[in-house]
Amino acid sequence: MTSNSGQAADTERRRPRSLIVSFFGSYARDVGGWIGVADLIALMSGLDVDGPAVRSAVSRLKRRGLLTPERLGGAAGYRLSDEGRRILAEGDQRIFGHRVARVEDGWVLVVFSVPESERRRRHALRSQLTRLGFGTTAAGVWIAPAHLTDQARGALRELGLEPYAELFHASHLDFRELTESVARWWDLPAFQAMYEGFLDEYEPVLERWRRMGGPLGAQERKQAFADHLRTVDAWRRLPYLDPGLPPELLPEPWAGSRAARVFFDLHTLLQPLGLSEVRSVIAFSKFR
């Protein structure tokens, strides 16, 4: 991961489409999987996303097969497709069940040689392995903690590239320290910068909510929804880029550990309030 890719990811996550994906992952399934367009516009207005941007974003997500248009009670809306539910379930596992590897569990190696005639699929495989958090040891040799074996196998099958690849379970033997090798295989300074950027933005948000006392009313509920959705949207790509490397192989202090605590503390604190706001907006629209 490079600094430029980090900036690109930061820009992407602030787009309406990214926020709406985060909304469906964080809330839509808890309210039945369907949301009216008018309600979604009302909710997203609290994040400075206007109606035309919402309509454009959901239209693109429909074209990608993640959302299905559906009218309920005369209201236009969107429901998660089966594919959308599958992708969100996969995301839940990676985001909320993110594993931290142990050195003794070993590594998975993906070794492939894809012919030039299949260069598009070769590029797609490289992109997918990067998205899964794999590092590179040499041209055509990618490595990750062993717990990502199934994801690597799935990526190869999805792209139909099994004939050009081999999977290995490996242990590091010699000739250099494993910490030195890991620092070559992954861009650890970029990971640190990525986590530090998250902390700079969201640690103050957590402190603000921890200082908040007294009963929380409608305005605080709206703010909780907006803060929670932004937090999820900022965080959800990070567990994909970082494969969960063994802590003893990482530089100290490792910002990822603190960033994870901040994310989960904010999620625990704000998600129930945000869900209450979503349900309130949906209920109110029934009486308009």
The CA distance from 243 to 107, in Å, is 11
The CA distance from 137 to 184, in Å, is 8
pLDDT at 109: 95
The CA distance from 203 to 138, in Å, is 38
Task: Break the chain into its structural domains and give their ranges.
Answer: 4-88, 107-170, 187-286
Do 4-88 and 107-170 come out as alike in CATH topology?
no
pLDDT at 286: 57
pLDDT at 285: 60
Does the domain at 4-88 match CATH 3.30.70.890? Answer given as no
Q: What is the pTM of this model?
A: 0.86
Name 144's Cβ contacts closer than 8 Å, sequence gap at least 6.
107, 108, 129, 132, 133, 134, 135, 152, 243
Write the burial class of residue 138 (CB in 10 Å: 0-12 exposed, 13-18 middle, 19+ buried). exposed
Name 111's Cβ contacts closer than 8 Å, sequence gap at least 6.
140, 141, 142, 165, 166, 167, 168
Q: What is the pLDDT of residues 57-97, one digit of tens each?
A: 999 999 999 999 999 888 999 999 999 999 999 889 889 98
pLDDT at 106: 95
Residue 253 backbone dihedrals phi, psi, to 5 degrees: -80, 145
C-alpha 281, offset from chain centre: 26
In CATH, the number for domain 107-170 is 3.30.70
pLDDT at 284: 65
Tell which phi-psi region holds residue 73, choosing left (phi > 0), alpha (psi between -120 and 50) or beta: left
DSSP string, 150-218: HHHHHHHHHHT-GGGEEEEEE---SSS-HHHHHHHHS-HHHHHHHHHHHHHHHHHHHHHHHH--S---H
pLDDT at 216: 82
In which residue ranges of the chain is pLDDT below 50?
1-13, 287-288
